[in-house]
Structure 1
């Protein structure tokens, strides 16, 4: 999985910022009008299902969904880069409050000409992920 493709590089940088717990670095990867849809559609993180658009909303998503976790691992099997996008397949393992949850799915990043993230979209099912909950390893 070469990091040379701009969308793949942005995805890896996003994942690294999350692992490092660096909110500012993560937000800086996004275009000013970028959007996070994680998961896509209505969810506990986004009741209206419209996504989190712009740096302020993306920062609020971080505070709600990422900052409260103990750790997040990106366990991706593969990635497919086409045009200005990449799709990673596999799972994201979250540890929170002594529990571990695996969200298996497809995670996409769309970038602009300068490599800024225009859209981070996560295709995963809440009920399916919650079904994996177990004490953290």
Structure 2
């Protein structure tokens, strides 16, 4: 996928930072009032469903959701950029606790005029993803 669109470029940079397990680089991609909703709505990562807003909350989300994974792959089939946003479609494959889990969905990034991420929203279903859990060596 070409990164010519600012939101697509930010999304790809976010994915690269996650794959590299580089928390500082990932948090630095967000605007000061940026928000992460992953998944959108209430979940074990966000019981109130309000999202994680600002660098401190986004860093805490990393510690809760990303740092515990052994690896993360972005298996995105396509992306669609419009205005200041992009939507990636496909799956995020995580390895955690000796299991592989695929979260299929739509993953959106919105950027401001400087290319900083103002919103990362992930539309995936926890129960559906948990049904894909497969033991791995």
TM over 0.5, yes or no?
Answer: yes
Structure 2: tracts of 5 or more residues without a match: none
TM-score by length of 2: 0.99
Deviation at residue 136 of structure 1 after TM alignment = 2.4
TM-score by length of 1: 0.99
SS of match in other structure, 1:24: helix
Look up the match of 2:92: 92
SS of match in other structure, 2:15: helix
Q: Which runs of 4+ in 1 moved over 2 A?
A: none
- Separation in structure 2 between the aligned mates of residue 17 and residue 120 of structure 1, nearest angstrom: 14
Alignment of 1:63 with 2:63, yes or no, is: yes
- Separation in structure 2 between the aligned mates of residue 114 and residue 70 of structure 1, nearest angstrom: 32
SS of match in other structure, 1:64: helix
Alignment of 1:104 with 2:107, yes or no, is: no
1:28-62 per-position Cα deviation (integer Å, ceiling 9, x unaligned): 00000000000000000000000000000000000
1:78-121 per-position Cα deviation (integer Å, ceiling 9, x unaligned): 00000000000000000001100000000000000000000000
How big is the alpha-carbon RMSD for the aligned residues of Structure 1 and Structure 2? 0.7
- Separation in structure 2 between the aligned mates of residue 121 and residue 36 of structure 1, nearest angstrom: 6
SS of match in other structure, 1:60: helix
Structure 1: tracts of 5 or more residues without a match: none
SS of match in other structure, 1:78: strand
Look up the match of 2:73: 73
Look up the match of 1:21: 21
Q: How many residues align?
A: 137
